[in-house]
Amino acid sequence: MSTENKVFIYDTTLRDGAQAEGVTFSPVAKIHVAKMLDSFGVDYIEGGYAASNPKDMAFFKDIKKEKLKHAKVAAFGSTRRANTPVEQDKGTLALLEADTEVCTIFGKTWLLHVTEVLKTTPEENLAMIEDTCRFLKENGKEVVYDAEHFFDGYKDSPEYALQSLEAATKGGADVLVLCDTNGGCLPHEVFEITALIREKFDVAVGIHTHNDSETAVANAMESVRAGAVQVQGVINGFGERCGNCNLISVAANVTMKTDKTCLADPEQLKNLKKLSLFVNEQAKLRNNKRAAFVGDSAFAHKAGMHVDGVRKVSHSFEHVPPESVGNSRRILISELSGASNVMEKLLEMGLDNIDRKSPEVREILQTMEKMEKSGYVYESADASFKMLIKKVLKEHKSFFELDGFRVIIEKRGKNEPCISEASLKLKVNGEKAFTVGEGDGPVDALNMALRRALHKFYPGIDGVYLADYRVSILDPEEATAAKTRVVIESSDGDSSWSTVGVSENIIEASWEALVDGVEYKLFLNEEKAD
Amino acid sequence: MSTENKVFIYDTTLRDGAQAEGVTFSPVAKIHVAKMLDSFGVDYIEGGYAASNPKDMAFFKDIKKEKLKHAKVAAFGSTRRANTPVEQDKGTLALLEADTEVCTIFGKTWLLHVTEVLKTTPEENLAMIEDTCRFLKENGKEVVYDAEHFFDGYKDSPEYALQSLEAATKGGADVLVLCDTNGGCLPHEVFEITALIREKFDVAVGIHTHNDSETAVANAMESVRAGAVQVQGVINGFGERCGNCNLISVAANVTMKTDKTCLADPEQLKNLKKLSLFVNEQAKLRNNKRAAFVGDSAFAHKAGMHVDGVRKVSHSFEHVPPESVGNSRRILISELSGASNVMEKLLEMGLDNIDRKSPEVREILQTMEKMEKSGYVYESADASFKMLIKKVLKEHKSFFELDGFRVIIEKRGKNEPCISEASLKLKVNGEKAFTVGEGDGPVDALNMALRRALHKFYPGIDGVYLADYRVSILDPEEATAAKTRVVIESSDGDSSWSTVGVSENIIEASWEALVDGVEYKLFLNEEKAD
């Protein structure tokens, strides 16, 4: 680790990230993620805990077949047990068995942990650190030493904390990683303590932070500023409790906001959003739309004034260009917006021949305002807004007509299930389509009936499903008699779109959003066919 | 603003927070949030944009009737328009019309914005800042000056940035707030620039940060360390793009990790989680379980070793005690932490003879945990929680039995109204009660039928009405087939109470909450009669 100004990215998504509540990676997912991390340009991939988990051991075997281009694989473990010769220590032997280029072991810095948790002596703990590092070095490993609770330990007893790092150094550790295991540190502490350690030791220093004070990324950045050359973290920042340091933000911040580099090929930063989405998908986590750099809202502009500013000079309201991290600018439509926003939408729809000051743009704005007053919101219902534009421009057509529907929800006794059934009468291309649908609830039943009715005429919508369904009650003082707004997200697997419906009746509001969602897709299909 | 070591919390949840994609507060929600912020001990509540939004103007009028105990209300606006006398400037006059104690105006720091976005001269911009501050001061206002893009502007031209603050100071501004409007700054820059401004100006300095680099909280903390005495932010950190500085984390970090204070009553920190949940509910946002301090996972321990460590010495794996922020350690939920809440409820119900370590308390906790796993939340459904306690203690009785219901929602043509009708069969005191109800929607119809059925037997519920009705969809990936949670607030004019129902079917979930709401009132009436 010598390249000047290079910060090494040490990814622990598959180990510390997998400690997050609700996260488990399948064996296949682990391989997928590792390959993705490798092509992105991460330097180290910590694949799992060698001693405690047979699945992790399988990963170390499988990943070898993949022949990674750039990243080194690390197996994670701990210092040997107290009063056990290192060459007989099961955990340490498991690390060798993992057969990775790198071994990362954590050891105790904080005396409280030595005496109260490990129940051993300060001296034995130092021996455990030194022995384990030396043994792994003698076996040809690159050794990363994770000094657990380093900052808490240092604040408690600087002397002992330094002794623990000396032990690792004597054992030959290649990097001393300062861990804020409990996530309690603030940035200035991390800066000061990192700087001090850099001064005292000739070995490379790394940083491992957690987000319990909501400062994990900042703590890592401050440590790097103080000279740390390795950052440990997780893609998207999930992990135990509040999560680990988010490597997405670290990679972007280091590359674009410091004079250091962290990716062999900085062009890879353009894949940042892709990487983030991919890892969430493999971990089965929802995407955070407000995620820094990669979230759907990260470059979304809502207020009219800001939109106007962005159009005039894009960096006036954007800290980095959205394309630089594989994201894109979005203009949101809302009650606060003006003509600039509408123009953006028209451009998106390929309607570049309409003037900003035309009566059409004014009519779109007026219609939108009227609709928003009666409870519609378009910022999260882009497809409905585009349908509204089509209606104003008289480019809208109905793909079917409603003759009527009836939804019945019935419960025949206290402990009986609640049954929902919808009957639907449509007219499609002059033909009558009568169908019935059942479902878990009234909207589900209605949706089933609708799909069934349209299948014969428009097989193109067969793959469309409801990806999300949200309900808000407007004017809640009026309680159940108040207006209900329903927002539905539909998807065809490749892309998704959102529509909105508003009514005093939740079923009618849902119907409206369902219809918009289906018609939007039918329009798209027609445009493609043209 | 002089109290030594006091950091003033300036909340802009209702203004900058409302810029977040997908967030709109109803007028009632705004009042609810403001009252909650006030009891928590926030110093300033920015209620909205005086000039641009009639809804915000209505808020300023309504909030006066609430007689807040501690917080000052601020109206937000900007410096006057270029080449317009301030006393004729519509935006500035709207600020006066809002009739708040505090006016906050933003002005331009960055020359790029002055010339390219505002299209005016640097000199005129300085005059705009000075004039507007002075005019508001002359009208008796406390004036907060938000220096928009301060850091970007300062990096571009320190000289002009300083001139802009001098203009505000000459105009009499009470606070100079340095805004990282684009969220691009890293912590050390914020520290250095804040320290420099503090040195140059005698006026109080504030900080306003955004999370685009994932360092908003850290940036605010560094600014406070450099001497800023006002922190602007949003509860839970939502806001435009990646969001604003999260005041939840700032309040906790300042109180527990610095020698400064920010809450008049630091004991209020124990309501931190409650505040976070409440604001998310009002904003209709999902809770982030990994949120620092207040997330459900924030003190959840998954790794065996950590759990063991926590058991041995709790602060060995926790940066702050979970109780200090109203959160709880998850592995121990059925032991000490949850028991206190239950004990509190039992006292409220007059059940003071039950021991904290009794099997009853344990059973209540276990039942609660089971229910919460299947989607119930009792945080905002106090009455349902009390009913749950009654059920466990075998003190619950049913005032009526359900024999069945059927709800029909029918639309007989595209332009016909949507009709809802409910038929209900109950058994009350052995007698059959069959009724029919109509309403604006299915739940309204069912509620009508229920009132009608019970009227003859329990005239005491005649005055009860639904004051609020909220719907959340759980597991939204499963769309309409997912579970629905309904929370109903009932009121009898004097007091109100909330109940919860969960089902795959929204009508069944509503029914459950309706029944709990009515039975709770019947219990209260019986107790009064005793």
pLDDT tens sequence across A3-21: 579 999 999 999 999 888 7
The encoded tokens of residue B512 equal 């459950």
| Sign of the CA dihedral with B284 first, then B286, B292, and B298 last | positive
Residues of chain A contacting residue B406, judged by C-beta atoms under 8 Å apart: 408-411
CA pair distance B11, B17, nearest whole angstrom: 9
Nearest by CB: A212 against B112, B296, B298? B298
| Most B CBs within 10 Å, among A480, A483, A487, A497, to test the B interface | A480
- The answer to whether B291 contacts A242, with C-beta atoms less than 8 Å apart, is yes
CB-based contacts of B280, cutoff 8 Å, min separation 6: B236, B286, B287
Tell me the CA distances in angstroms from A303 to A347, B59, B465, one per residue in order: 19, 19, 38
Residue A354: CB atoms within 10 A of its CB come to 18
CA pair distance B48, B16, nearest whole angstrom: 8
Residue A197: CB atoms within 10 A of its CB come to 23
Contact by Cβ (8 Å): B478, B363? no
Nearest by CB: A404 against B300, B313, B412? B412
For residue B149, the 8-state DSSP code is T
Helix A304-312, helix A339-348: angle, nearest 10:
60
Closest CA to A244 of A269, A223, A271, A214: A214
Residues of chain B contacting residue A377, judged by C-beta atoms under 8 Å apart: 24
User: Is B93 exposed, middle or buried, given 0-12, 13-18 or 19+ CB atoms closer than 10 A?
Assistant: middle
Phi, psi angle pair for B223, to nearest 5°? -65, -40
CB-based contacts of A242, cutoff 8 Å, min separation 6: A183, A210, A211, A212, A214, A216, B290, B291, B292, B295, B297, B298
Tell me the CA distances in angstroms from B212 to A285, A350, B242, one per residue in order: 21, 30, 5
Contact by Cβ (8 Å): B426, B419? no
CB-based contacts of A133, cutoff 8 Å, min separation 6: A105, A143, A145, A167, A168, A170, A171, A172, A173
Give the bridge partners for A438, in sequence order: A421
Tell me the CA distances in angstroms from B469 to A481, A502, B330, B500, B502, one per residue in order: 10, 16, 30, 10, 13
Residue A289 C-alpha, separation from nearest chain B C-alpha, in angstroms: 8
Q: What is the pLDDT of residue A137?
A: 98
Per this entry, what is the length of chain A?
530
* Mean residue pLDDT across chain A: 90
Residue B355 C-alpha, separation from nearest chain A C-alpha, in angstroms: 32
Confidence of residue A2 (pLDDT cuts 50, 70, 90): very low
Give the bridge partners for B244, in sequence order: B210
For residue B490, the 8-state DSSP code is E
Query: If you measure CA to CA, which chain A residue comes closest to B473?
Result: A470
pLDDT in tens, A96-112: 999 999 999 999 999 99
Instruction: In chain A, list all ranges with CATH 3.30.160.270.
Output: 401-529
pTM of the entire structure?
A: 0.73
Residues of chain A contacting residue B443, judged by C-beta atoms under 8 Å apart: 480, 506
Residue B402 C-alpha, separation from nearest chain A C-alpha, in angstroms: 5
Helix, strand, or coil here: A207? strand
Residues of chain A contacting residue B257, judged by C-beta atoms under 8 Å apart: 184, 186, 213
Question: In this model, does residue A469 exceed pLDDT 90?
Answer: no
Nearest by CB: B504 against A318, A336, A440? A440
Tell me the CA distances in angstroms from B486 to A327, B160, B449, B471, one per residue in order: 36, 54, 19, 5
Residues of chain B contacting residue A308, judged by C-beta atoms under 8 Å apart: 117
Strands, DSSP E only, in A291-399? 300-301, 330-331
Confidence of residue A265 (pLDDT cuts 50, 70, 90): very high
**Pick the residue with more confidence: B528 or A256?**
A256
| Strand order across the beta sheet in which A496-503 lies | A465-473, A484-491, A496-503
**Pick the residue with more confidence: A42 or B359?**
A42
Closest CA to B179 of B202, B201, B161, B167: B161
CA pair distance B282, B489, nearest whole angstrom: 14
CA pair distance B86, B124, nearest whole angstrom: 12
Residues of chain B contacting residue A410, judged by C-beta atoms under 8 Å apart: 404-407
Tell me which CATH homologous superfamily contains domain B8-283: Aldolase class I (3.20.20.70)
Residue A288: CB atoms within 10 A of its CB come to 21
CA pair distance B243, B208, nearest whole angstrom: 11
Q: What is the ipTM of this complex?
A: 0.74
Q: From first to last of the 530 residues of chain B, give the pLDDT tens digit.
A: 445 799 999 999 999 999 898 788 888 889 999 999 999 999 999 999 988 777 889 999 999 999 999 999 999 999 999 999 999 999 999 999 999 999 999 999 999 999 988 899 999 999 999 999 999 999 999 999 999 999 999 999 999 999 999 999 999 999 999 999 999 999 999 999 999 999 999 999 999 999 999 999 999 999 999 999 999 999 999 999 999 999 999 999 999 999 999 998 999 999 999 999 999 888 878 788 899 999 988 988 754 455 556 656 767 788 999 999 988 776 533 333 456 667 777 877 888 888 878 888 888 888 887 887 787 877 668 889 889 999 999 888 889 999 999 999 999 998 899 999 999 999 999 999 999 999 989 999 999 999 999 999 999 888 888 877 878 777 654 555 578 889 888 888 777 788 999 999 999 999 999 999 999 999 988 888 77
Give the residue-averaged pLDDT of A295-319.
75
Residue A192: CB atoms within 10 A of its CB come to 12
- The answer to whether B20 contacts A290, with C-beta atoms less than 8 Å apart, is yes
Contact by Cβ (8 Å): B50, B98? yes
Closest CA to B293 of B259, B261, B252, B333: B252
Nearest by CB: B466 against A312, A444, A479? A479
Residues of chain B contacting residue A19, judged by C-beta atoms under 8 Å apart: 302-303
CA pair distance A225, B447, nearest whole angstrom: 63
Residue at token pair 């750099």: A293
Strands, DSSP E only, in B19-101? 44-49, 72-78
| Sign of the CA dihedral with B437 first, then B442, B444, and B449 last | positive
Contact by Cβ (8 Å): A92, A80? yes
Residue A57: CB atoms within 10 A of its CB come to 20
Question: In this model, does residue A318 exceed pLDDT 70?
Answer: yes
Contact by Cβ (8 Å): B313, A117? yes
Helices of type H across B229-374: 247-257, 272-283, 304-312, 336-348, 359-373
pLDDT in tens, A143-178: 999 999 999 999 999 999 999 999 999 999 999 999
Q: What is the pLDDT of residue A306?
A: 61
pLDDT in tens, A362-373: 888 888 878 877
Helices of type H across B401-505: 442-455
Q: What distance separates the 2 farthest-apart alpha carbons in chain A?
A: 88
User: Is A148 exposed, middle or buried, given 0-12, 13-18 or 19+ CB atoms closer than 10 A?
Assistant: buried
Tell me which CATH homologous superfamily contains domain B401-529: Alpha-isopropylmalate synthase LeuA, regulatory domain (3.30.160.270)
Instruction: In chain A, list all ranges with CATH 3.20.20.70.
Output: 8-283
| Most A CBs within 10 Å, among B215, B400, B406, to test the A interface | B215
Q: What is the pLDDT of residue A51?
A: 83
**DSSP-assigned letters across all residues of A305-321:** HHHHHHHH-GGGS-SS-
Give the bridge partners for A489, in sequence order: A468, A498
Strands, DSSP E only, in B109-192? 142-148, 175-180
Output Rg (C-alpha) for chain A, integer angstroms. 29
- The answer to whether B442 contacts A505, with C-beta atoms less than 8 Å apart, is yes
